[in-house]
Amino acid sequence: MPHRRTEHVTLATLAALGLTLAMATARADEPAKDFSPAERALFMTDQFAKLRPPMTLRYQFRRSGSLEPAFDDKVTIALKPQASGKCCDASGEFLSGERKIELPPVEGASGNPVTLFFLEREIREMERLTKGKAAYFRKRIRMAVYKGAQQRDVTLRYRGKSVAGQEFTITPYVDDPNRPRFERLANKRYVFTLSDAVPGGIYAIRAQVADTANGAAASPLLAEELLIEGADSAPARAGT
């Protein structure tokens, strides 16, 4: 794998991603009811409301696929109470070694920042692999969450028990007029799996690029998965 420097994600970058994922500045004068269900679930829900810090959320991270070498790594989100006693101030460690992304602490977090950290890394990977601009990919994801997310209820396995959850799926680039510039990665799909039964609300986040050049039966060109400790990596089942 080519050498990569440790990446730094600034609070301004996360704000540009996270806050405008919830509502693009162009929509700032629209009523609050205009938020999509995906926006509300991913970025406007207090996912730490039931937690009692200090505690650490632990996730497995796995990359596979034929495009680049596979690896397994880990992600942690450490939570501590604010000075007022409320939850939570959050600090993250995303991957390790040369893959590690340096993350700023998030004071007074209510939404789980692991979603923003995962997406920011994905955007940087798209920039690296395509030589495109991070701001462009960030915009496509933002608009897909607002306008194009598919939603379904699912049943998940967590610590040996069945729990209810929701999935939101987006494909930011399938209808992108600029997709010929990065056609090989244009079918990239993101799946966000949420459940109130897991601490921090995020059960899994997955990104996958199908190898369309070799047919539907081919292994993915690229697959990345972030999965909370105690989760079952088997696919979620449609809810009943």
Query: Can you give the pLDDT at residue 3?
Result: 41
User: Do the domain assignments include residue 73?
Assistant: yes
Percent of the chain with pLDDT over 90: 67
Distances in Å between the Cα of 96 and the Cα atoms of 67, 110, 123, 175, 199 are: 21, 25, 18, 35, 23
| Res. 68: pLDDT tops 80 | yes
What would the mean pLDDT of 47-73 be, rounded to a whole number?
95
Segment 140-155 mean pLDDT: 94
Q: What's residue 104's pLDDT?
A: 84
| Structural domain includes residue 165 | yes
CA angle, 18 then 23 then 26, to 5°: 120
Q: If residue 16 lies in a helix (H) or strand (E), which one and from where to where? A: helix 11-22
| Bond preceding residue 113 cis, omega within 30 of 0 | no
94 domain residue, yes or no: yes
Structurally, the chain folds into a number of domains equal to 1
Provide mean pLDDT across the span 139-164: 94
Torsion over CA: 227, 113, 38, 126 (sign): negative
pTM: 0.86
Residue 98 lies in a domain: yes
Residue 2 lies in a domain: no
Q: What is the pLDDT of residues 25-38, one digit of tens each?
A: 333 344 455 789 99
Query: Residue 151 corresponds to which tokens in the numbers above?
Result: 């939603």
The reply to whether 61 falls in a domain is yes
Write out the residue range of the structural domain in which residue 132 sits: 7-238
143 part of a folded domain = yes
Q: How far apart are the first and last CA of the chain?
A: 43
Confidence of residue 7 (pLDDT cuts 50, 70, 90): low
